[in-house]
Amino acid sequence: MGDHTQHEEHTHSDQPSHVSHKAHGSIALDCVVVTCSDTRTKDTDTSGKLICHLLKEHGHTIKDYQLSKDEPAEISQLLKQTAQHPDNQVVIINGGTGISRRDSTFEAVDEFLQKRLDGFGELFRYLSFKDIGSAAMLSRATAGIHENLVIFSIPGSRGAVQLAMEQLILPEMSHIAGELSK
């Protein structure tokens, strides 16, 4: 019987880290949700509400939810304030990732990141391409780290939010936050 127990422990430690992590479940995180829009209000912000709903449904806490104009200085200030609160672990920003003259969220977020998770944007555009075709290349979705804060910046459409949350953010955000605490 001792050999069997030893074998189980050995097998478990041989699992890839991503498999081992998911086997232990996700960590509940303190999150901040920001919608960048010049036109939405809290009443009309279906994408921000969807993010909050999905986070709560998965056991995470919404520490703050707010709307911001798509102004780089305002977004930069908001990110700095969010990073100053050590309880905040994840920021999810939706909106402002396109290429129009008013879309400037990407620049503010990109400048704030200390480490970029390039794979997030690449995977988001790949998954979007499967749904919407070549227009997916217009998205500047991005993610990365600032100190101990995980930041995701995604398009503001409800479909893009649902895709990013369900296929990329929710499956990995606890793992990413856990890596930052090592």
What is the full DSSP assignment across 62-106?
Answer: EEEEEEE-S-HHHHHHHHHHHHHSTT--EEEEES--SSSTT--HH
pLDDT in tens, 1-22: 444 444 444 444 455 554 544 5
Band (25; pLDDT cuts 50, 70, 90): low
Give the rounded distance of the alpha carbon of 90 from its chain centre.
7
Global pTM exceeds 0.85: yes
Q: Which residue intervals of 104-169 are DSSP H helices?
A: 105-112, 118-132, 158-164
**67 pLDDT higher than 70:** yes
> What is the residue extent of each domain of the chain?
29-180
Of all helices (H) and strands (E), which one includes residue 12? helix 2-13
Q: How far apart are CA 73 and CA 28, in angstroms?
A: 31
**48 pLDDT higher than 60:** yes
Contact at 8 Å (CB) between 161 and 50?
A: yes
Q: What class, spelled out in words, does domain 29-180 have in CATH?
A: alpha beta
